[in-house]
Chains A and B, each alone.
Chain A
Amino acid sequence: MLEGVFSNWILPIVRVSSPLIFAALGGMWCERSGVIQIGLEGFILVGAFFAAVTTHYFSNPYLGLLAAAFSGLLLAFLYGLSVLRFRANQIVAGTAINLFALGVPPFLSKVWFDSTGNTPPIPGEAQFRFTPLVLMGLTVAISGFAFYSTRFGLRLRFAGEHPEALKSAGVSVEFKRWQGVALAGILAGIGGATLSTYLSSSFTRNMSAGRGFIALAAVILGKWKPIPTVLACLLFGLTDQIQIRLQGVILWGTEPVPVQWIQILPYLITLLVLTFAVGRSRAPRALGVIE
């Protein structure tokens, strides 16, 4: 019975939540340092794309993971440059990054594979079996540890909470923020990799389907703390599982519930949760404020 619960519910939920968890943790680090991060969607997308392409080419998913992290980092660098160096409005720049990332994968897949946006499938042996879960566990553990127990975590938290105090303690606020932005790119990129090389076997157009924004909602729900954020991701993973299970199920009457109503469940729940469960959420005090 327990075996059934585990393989039917817990494992799938954890699996399906993995992209969210990576992206959300990345978003958490970034926003905790004081930089708004709505570009997670873009990072996931490019990460998924480059992971699929690299894995296909080298038949090695680990290289794909690396490519995903790197591409996410590059895109994050572009974001950081616009926002930290050139002081662009953070929401505008994040939107621009998402638009840009929306165009890159289909463009490149046309150039490289002559396809309309999907990448060629990854051979079975090259797919991940459980490594991403291990990686995810490590990331969660390390994030939690770093957040509370290291100098890095403490200073980064101050960068978002009270940058003046950090500055008068002699630490560079801007450098911490670069680190936050970089982490968002790397982690969300890896989240994208799990999407295309673990949860599926190729990259398909617009594969992220709003996960980047759901990840951000998870960060807000989790009050910008590592463990609650992960729990929020699992919650959304649960709604996703419910959504899959409910398809074709007859709840009332004689016909199954139309699939469209079920498919919107995760988004609807995100909306409801954000509206009612959050209240006066305590964002980092200096979020979005750049002198």
Chain B
Amino acid sequence: MSALEFRGVSKRFGNFYANRNLSFQVEPGTIHGLIGENGAGKSTAMKSLFGIHAIDEGTLLVAGKPVRIRNPIHAMKLGIGMVHQHFMLAGTETVLDNIILGHEPGFLSIHRDRALAELEKISKTYGLDFQKWMSPVDELSVGEQQRVEILKLLYQRSSILILDEPTAVLTPQEVQELFANLKRLKEEGKTIILISHKLKEVLAHTDSVTVMRRGESVGTRVTSSTHEDELAQMMVGRAVSFTYEGERKIFAKSDESRPVLKVDRLSISGVSEPLKKVSFELRPAEILGVAGVQGNGQTTLLRFLSNPSRFRGVEGEYRFAGRNRMGSHPDELRKAGMALVPEDRLSEGLLMHQDLTENFLLGQHRDPRFVKNGWIDRSAVRFRVERAIRDYDIRPPYSTVWASRMSGGNQQKLVIARALDSDPSTLLVAHPTRGVDVGAIERIHEAIMKERNAGKSIVLFSSELDELMDLSDRIVVFYNGSIAAEFSRREFDSWTLGRVMGGGSK
């Protein structure tokens, strides 16, 4: 009898299937890996299990019995517990208080000593060494915080523990400790589900593994009988989702000598994704792809390249268009020919309650093309907006439509049109096709390639390997704050790339 089973489970958000006909089993007392790329549907599946939302089709079975999990409390009663990727811990409160929240012993006043005694017992039983019960969570290292989350589950008497990307934020030593702890838990009879994209870890520490892609389960294997290449292939898939069929101009080698943008031993500390001695060059007429799992430093790099003035604690060199740009303001970079398509168009790129014309001004509200003596010439803006609407087939095709009324694809087209409108020499583009439908994807890729063919340089940040391999001339892979490897177009190979993204070597 399995501890947990997904049988034909589907979950929809509007018309989008986050999970489709998902089926797999997990045996009790095992560590089961759930792997897949970003957006494969792993988190959605686990949220359904934890009762955060309801499933639309199919059945969930716990200990062989079908259940309908209504909410997290219900899930907890069934013995299911989850350690989220972003910890559910209040930093200013003590470890003890965070653990006992919702299950506080005592009637009028909380009997913390009772809870403490029980936690000491749990700590011993499962070999989860811990002393700092009364420290505020803020003072703990990330690895220790994670241990607190696990202790929370044990205190709640969970028998099925779900860990969502647990090693994403850990140092190598902490990773070792974590898996040692998980092994102990397994031996004591707990069932563990490990959501991860890191193939090496999954292969080393799980008993069985299910691979997900595009909301479905591609297959389940016994870990000892599979290997990295097979899993990578299942994860990424053979068929490439969209291939750029257009022209790719070949440029002569002489362009290598003068880079448009250069970063040398760039280190940034004091941010959530620090950078460690990053070095690379961007040459004219090329697309440099930046690959890597979200959280390995790409966001910091992008933010730095577009707005160095926002950062402190920066070391190294940053040159663009022939000048040193450390501490530069975005206006300066824009004048020198740089344009930006930010990572998250909703939070960083658009004004949702304004129309297209207003949004077109964002980032260029002092540009001499639109602004004379401090006054905005809206007819000039409208002219450009209408041209952009025609060129990129933006719908609905009215300059007075609010950004919030547009589909994701059209919003993205607007952001890209805006960036390209100033005729930049260099583009920083992040996740250009995230949340965009197929028709718009084609248009966007065409636009990017057109710029490259016209001699522009582009840094393309993306978590879609297909997209990167399609468009880039070179790819650098980020891991843990630095560039793990660089690939030339000849060397592009999804299995190798996936491996390096997961921490392996080229």
Q: How large is the interface on A (under 10, 10 to 19, 20 to 34, 35 or more residues)?
A: 20 to 34
Which residues on the B side are within 8 Å of A155 (C-beta)? Answer: 101-102
Question: B108 interface residue, CB < 8 Å from A?
Answer: yes
Alpha-carbon gap, A171 to B102, bound state (A): 7
Q: A149-B109, A164-B88, A170-B72 are in contact. Are A157 and B102 (CB under 8 A)?
A: no
B163 to chain A, nearest CB (A): 15
Q: Mark A13-53, 1 if CB is under 8 A from B, else 0.
A: 00000000000000000000000000000000000000000
A146 to chain B, nearest CB (A): 9
Which residues on the B side are within 8 Å of A162 (C-beta)? Answer: 88-90
Q: A145-B109, A150-B109, A154-B110 are in contact. Are A170 and B102 (CB under 8 A)?
A: yes
Question: A151 interface residue, CB < 8 Å from B?
Answer: yes
Which residues on the B side are within 8 Å of A149 (C-beta)? Answer: 109-110
Evaluate contact between A161 and B93: CB separation under 8 angstroms: yes
Question: B92 interface residue, CB < 8 Å from A?
Answer: yes
Which residues on the B side are within 8 Å of A134 (C-beta)? Answer: none
Evaluate contact between A154 and B109: CB separation under 8 angstroms: no
Evaluate contact between A165 and B110: CB separation under 8 angstroms: no
Question: B98 interface residue, CB < 8 Å from A?
Answer: yes
Evaluate contact between B90 and A165: CB separation under 8 angstroms: yes
Which residues on the A side are within 8 Å of B88 (C-beta)? Answer: 162, 164-165, 168
Which residues on the A side are within 8 Å of B73 (C-beta)? Answer: 170
Evaluate contact between B76 and A151: CB separation under 8 angstroms: no
Question: B97 interface residue, CB < 8 Å from A?
Answer: yes
A174 to chain B, nearest CB (A): 14
B73 to chain A, nearest CB (A): 4
Kindly identify which residue among B76, B101, B106, B108 contacts A158, using a CB–CB cutoff of 8 Å: B101
- 8 Å CB interface, A152-178 against B: 154-155, 157-158, 161-162, 164-171
Alpha-carbon gap, A167 to B121, bound state (A): 27
Evaluate contact between B72 and A150: CB separation under 8 angstroms: no
Evaluate contact between B92 and A282: CB separation under 8 angstroms: yes
Which residues on the B side are within 8 Å of A169 (C-beta)? Answer: 72, 101-103
Question: B255 interface residue, CB < 8 Å from A?
Answer: no
Evaluate contact between A151 and B93: CB separation under 8 angstroms: no
Residue with the highest number of chain B CB atoms closer than 10 Å, among A145, A165, A285: A165
Question: B104 interface residue, CB < 8 Å from A?
Answer: yes
Which residues on the A side are within 8 Å of B108 (C-beta)? Answer: 150
Which residues on the B side are within 8 Å of A166 (C-beta)? Answer: 101-102
Which residues on the A side are within 8 Å of B101 (C-beta)? Answer: 154-155, 158, 165-166, 169, 171
Alpha-carbon gap, A164 to B4, bound state (A): 26
Kindly identify which residue among B72, B93, B110 contacts A157, using a CB–CB cutoff of 8 Å: B93
Evaluate contact between A151 and B110: CB separation under 8 angstroms: yes
Say what secondary structure dominates the interface of chain B: loop
Alpha-carbon gap, A157 to B97, bound state (A): 11
Q: A154-B104, A154-B110 are in contact. Are A161 and B92 (CB under 8 A)?
A: yes
- 8 Å CB interface, B91-142 against A: 91-93, 97-98, 101-104, 106, 108-110
B307 to chain A, nearest CB (A): 22
Which residues on the B side are within 8 Å of A157 (C-beta)? Answer: 90, 93
Evaluate contact between A165 and B89: CB separation under 8 angstroms: yes
Alpha-carbon gap, A171 to B88, bound state (A): 14
Evaluate contact between A151 and B104: CB separation under 8 angstroms: yes
Alpha-carbon gap, A247 to B158, bound state (A): 67
Evaluate contact between A165 and B98: CB separation under 8 angstroms: yes
Alpha-carbon gap, A282 to B93, bound state (A): 13
- 8 Å CB interface, A164-196 against B: 164-171
Alpha-carbon gap, A164 to B97, bound state (A): 15
Q: Mark B48-82, 1 if CB is under 8 A from A, else 0.
A: 00000000000000000000000111001000000
Which residues on the A side are within 8 Å of B91 (C-beta)? Answer: 161, 285
Instruction: Determine the residue in chain B with the shortest Cβ distance to A157.
Output: B93
Which residues on the B side are within 8 Å of A145 (C-beta)? Answer: 109
Q: A165-B98, A167-B72 are in contact. Are A150 and B90 (CB under 8 A)?
A: no
Q: A162-B89, A165-B88, A168-B88 are in contact. Are A151 and B72 (CB under 8 A)?
A: no
B150 to chain A, nearest CB (A): 15
Residue with the highest number of chain A CB atoms closer than 10 Å, among B76, B102, B104: B102
Instruction: Determine the residue in chain A with the shortest Cβ distance to B73.
Output: A170
Which residues on the A side are within 8 Å of B104 (C-beta)? Answer: 151, 154
Q: A149-B109, A150-B110 are in contact. Are A170 and B76 (CB under 8 A)?
A: yes
B429 to chain A, nearest CB (A): 32
Q: Mark B264-307, 1 if CB is under 8 A from A, else 0.
A: 00000000000000000000000000000000000000000000
Evaluate contact between B110 and A168: CB separation under 8 angstroms: no
Alpha-carbon gap, A104 to B227, bound state (A): 76
Instruction: Determine the residue in chain A with the shortest Cβ distance to B74.
Output: A170
A118 to chain B, nearest CB (A): 44
Which residues on the B side are within 8 Å of A150 (C-beta)? Answer: 108-110
Instruction: Determine the residue in chain A with the shortest Cβ distance to B52.
Output: A168
Alpha-carbon gap, A170 to B70, bound state (A): 12
Alpha-carbon gap, A171 to B101, bound state (A): 9
Instruction: Determine the residue in chain A with the shortest Cβ distance to B51.
Output: A168
Which residues on the A side are within 8 Å of B90 (C-beta)? Answer: 157-158, 161-162, 165, 285
Alpha-carbon gap, A157 to B76, bound state (A): 22
Residue with the highest number of chain B CB atoms closer than 10 Å, among A165, A167, A168, A282: A168
Evaluate contact between A168 and B89: CB separation under 8 angstroms: no
Which residues on the B side are within 8 Å of A158 (C-beta)? Answer: 90, 93, 101
Which residues on the B side are within 8 Å of A167 (C-beta)? Answer: 72
Instruction: Determine the residue in chain B with the shortest Cβ distance to A146.
Output: B109
- 8 Å CB interface, A189-237 against B: none
Instruction: Determine the residue in chain B with the shortest Cβ distance to A150.
Output: B109
Alpha-carbon gap, A150 to B109, bound state (A): 4
A247 to chain B, nearest CB (A): 43
Alpha-carbon gap, A162 to B90, bound state (A): 6
A264 to chain B, nearest CB (A): 35
Instruction: Determine the residue in chain A with the shortest Cβ distance to B50.
Output: A168
Alpha-carbon gap, A149 to B88, bound state (A): 21
Which residues on the A side are within 8 Å of B103 (C-beta)? Answer: 169
B55 to chain A, nearest CB (A): 18
Which residues on the A side are within 8 Å of B72 (C-beta)? Answer: 167-170
Alpha-carbon gap, A155 to B93, bound state (A): 11
Alpha-carbon gap, A166 to B73, bound state (A): 11
Alpha-carbon gap, A167 to B103, bound state (A): 13
B170 to chain A, nearest CB (A): 21
- 8 Å CB interface, B317-355 against A: none
- 8 Å CB interface, B408-429 against A: none
Alpha-carbon gap, A170 to B103, bound state (A): 10
Which residues on the B side are within 8 Å of A282 (C-beta)? Answer: 92
Which residues on the B side are within 8 Å of A170 (C-beta)? Answer: 71-73, 76, 102
Which residues on the A side are within 8 Å of B109 (C-beta)? Answer: 145, 149-150
12 CB < 8 A contacts A-B: A149-B109, A154-B93, A154-B97, A155-B101, A155-B102, A162-B89, A162-B90, A165-B90, A168-B72, A169-B101, A170-B76, A285-B92
Q: Which 9 A-B pairs have the closest CB atoms?
A: A169-B102, A170-B73, A162-B90, A165-B88, A161-B90, A149-B109, A151-B104, A169-B101, A168-B72
Give 7 new A-B contacts, CB below 8 A, not counting A157-B90, A168-B88: A145-B109, A149-B110, A150-B108, A161-B93, A162-B89, A169-B72, A171-B101
A: residues with CB less than 8 A from B are: 145, 149-151, 154-155, 157-158, 161-162, 164-171, 282, 285
